[in-house]
Amino acid sequence: MDFSNIKQISAQFKKELEGIYPPEEIRNFIWIIFEHLLGFTKTDIMMKETQTLNAEQQDFCRHALHQLTQYEPIQHIIGSTIFYGLTFKVNRHVLIPRPETEELVEWILQDNTIPAPSILDIGTGSGCIPVVLKKNLPKAEVSAWDISPEALSIARDNARINDLTITYQLNDALQPTVFPTQKLDIIVSNPPYIRILEKEWMHHNVLQYEPHLALFVADNDPLIFYRKIAQLAYQFLKSNGFLYVEINEALGKETCALFREIGFTSIELRKDLFGKDRMVKAGF
């Protein structure tokens, strides 16, 4: 196949990915790849469709096309994604940040009135939550935990990419060996919350390429992380502090009830942009 210019490459992507992805998603893949390779906008792609790519760029496009047919996420193929307007390195060791998590971060930023809050993110993954919070609250003291050394390596890279100082610590949320040395203003977490029984409803690209450690919990105790995180928050939050979590859409009421049982009295359940129960804020 002739694979030398933008028009030919775009046509081949549309042909080989038809039936695997919706047409709009295929067009988006094409734009992301040419933005990554050439810095092109969508308009540039239309206006410069006869532009020839060099051999290395053509090889990258062939590789990307093959990986897309294998359901690999486009973010893994180019090695990065955009979250809350910032660039983040991603790979198989971390979850790709989702729009719903942007809403969780936005909620924290809208709520906060403290010039220099102390913040802990539990289960940080790519580090997207603490990086955005620190970028928008430059005087904040931000730390983050994860059980995965590989995830922490990516998170540290993302702090460096965005020129930020964040304290990252290897720690198991369920059996922590590291604890905050002071009371905190904000604790936030997007822990594993998908039940094993929900696997059958998930896309191939998530199941094959994203870390199951960060996704799944046992069907018989789906709130295991929320219980431990809420207990930690109850112990280490200031009296006017808040816990923010992303949740399983099917377990909103159960999560709120758990937080009340632990001792939180001010609890708010909020829906995401798709109208699903997705976030909880808890205070005293």
Dump pLDDT digits (tens) for 88-147.
999 999 999 999 999 999 999 999 999 999 999 999 999 999 999 999 999 999 999 999
- Annotation: binding site: 123-127, 146, 190-193
Region 214-228 average pLDDT: 86
- Annotation: binding site for substrate: 190-193
**Sign of the CA dihedral with 82 first, then 88, 89, and 94 last:** negative
What pTM was computed for the model? 0.93
CA atoms of 87 and 76, how far apart (whole Å)? 13
Assess whether pLDDT exceeds 90 at residue 212: no
Q: What per-residue confidence (pLDDT) applies to 198?
A: 80
Assess whether pLDDT exceeds 80 at residue 2: no
For the beta carbon of residue 275, count every other beta carbon within 10 angstroms.
8
CA atoms of 131 and 163, how far apart (whole Å)? 9
Q: Are 162 and 129 in contact (CB under 8 A)?
A: no
Q: What per-residue confidence (pLDDT) applies to 210?
A: 75
CA atoms of 233 and 253, how far apart (whole Å)? 19
CA atoms of 158 and 258, how far apart (whole Å)? 33
Assess whether pLDDT exceeds 80 at residue 1: no
For the beta carbon of residue 183, count every other beta carbon within 10 angstroms.
12
Region 241-249 average pLDDT: 96
CA atoms of 188 and 122, how far apart (whole Å)? 6
Could you tell me where the DSSP H helices lie in the chain? 6-17, 23-38, 42-47, 55-69, 74-78, 99-111, 128-136, 149-161, 204-209, 224-236, 252-262
Q: What per-residue confidence (pLDDT) applies to 192?
A: 85
- Annotation: binding site for S-adenosyl-L-methionine: 123-127, 146, 190
- At the topology level, CATH places domain 93-283 in Rossmann fold (3.40.50)
Question: How does DSSP classify residue 214?
Answer: G
Q: Mean pLDDT score of the chain, rounded to an integer?
A: 94
